[in-house]
Chains A and B, each alone.
Chain A
Amino acid sequence: MNATAYILLGILLIASGTGAAVLRNPVHSGLSAVVAFVTLGMLHMALGAQFIGFVQLLVYIGAVAILAVFAILLTRPEASHLPCLRPLRRAVAGAVTAGLVLAALLIAIFRSPSLNREPGPVAEAPVAEIGELLMTTHLLPLQTIGVLLTAALIGAVLFASTNHS
């Protein structure tokens, strides 16, 4: 990945993420997060993991973002009976906490000498090999994920169904 693409994608990623944090309208926030997800998929592709990039686009844009924006539109607060509970203090405290976590992570990353290594010679992940590994070595995790997703969807339907009171 060349440096220009990295810098542009990084700026777009952090800017759209920050937009999701600070935009006042929840719909705008959700759409800004969609831009962040697309940028993340492009980063994966630039790193050589094309399959993960496309999976990211399909799952996050096709499913997660649609679901989230739908939920935002479905759950408009009818009357804002909650007064703004010291919103400025909350925002400052949240931003400071996030900044402290970022500083700790950056110190740890840039002080560990074992991370300074060259990229391997192979820069691609062929889909055929991924599929073969999923069907042979990682068959049990794949089946477990299938059971987990089924259980999650059944649980979601049970939670959200109306006639269980």
Chain B
Amino acid sequence: MITLPAILALSAALFATGLGIALIRRNAILIFIGIELMFGAGVLNFVAFWRFSPDPEALTGILFAMFTIAIAAAEISVGLALVILIYRHHQTPELDAANRLRG
């Protein structure tokens, strides 16, 4: 049987992977994918705490995970539109090129 700390450790490793992607890569879309992996680690935590909660019938963790997924979807739709906009200005999706405030 898997214990709660084991699942939380896997989730922490996933979070660190997403953070590493967001810090290492320069392509803005891959940075967004890293942020999505960090969101995924949070959702995994919600589900794990629901599974090990004293009152799992309340389904609180499940609902929290669902709302988190919805917010992640809203975030990436706006984010990718911004990336397209940046690409139109600078002809590259790399964030190092977008270092000016004037357009």
Instruction: Enumerate chain A interface residues (CB-CB to B < 8 A).
Output: 1-3, 6, 10, 13-14, 17-18, 20-22, 26, 29-30, 33, 36-37, 40, 43-44, 47-49, 51-52, 55-56, 59-60, 63-64, 67-68, 71-72, 74-75, 77-82, 85, 90-91, 93-95, 97-99, 101-102, 105-106, 109-110, 115-123, 125, 129-130, 133-134, 138, 141, 145, 148-149, 152-153, 155-157, 159-160
Contacts and interface: CB of A to CB of B under 8 A. Distances in A.
A123 B53 CA distance: 11
23 contacts: A1-B2, A6-B10, A14-B10, A20-B30, A21-B17, A26-B29, A29-B25, A33-B37, A43-B44, A52-B47, A55-B69, A60-B36, A72-B27, A81-B92, A85-B96, A94-B23, A106-B12, A109-B5, A110-B9, A119-B1, A122-B57, A130-B59, A160-B85
B16 A99 contact: yes
Interface residues of B, number: 73
Contacts of B34: 20-21
Contacts, number: 247
Taking chain B's interface residues, is the majority helix, strand, or loop, or is none over half, making it mixed? Answer: helix
B24 A21 contact: yes
B103 to A, nearest CB: 9
B92 to A, nearest CB: 4
A77 B87 CA distance: 8
Contacts of B81: 155-157, 159-160
Contacts of A71: 29, 80, 83-84, 93
Q: Which 7 pairs from chain A and chain B are nearest by CB?
A: A94-B23, A17-B17, A102-B16, A98-B20, A152-B74, A105-B12, A156-B81
Contacts of B15: 101-102, 105
A145 B71 contact: yes
Interface string B3-39: 1111111101111111111011101011011101100
B52 A98 contact: no
Contact of A152 (B18, B51, B62, B77): B77
A64 B92 contact: no
B25 A21 contact: yes
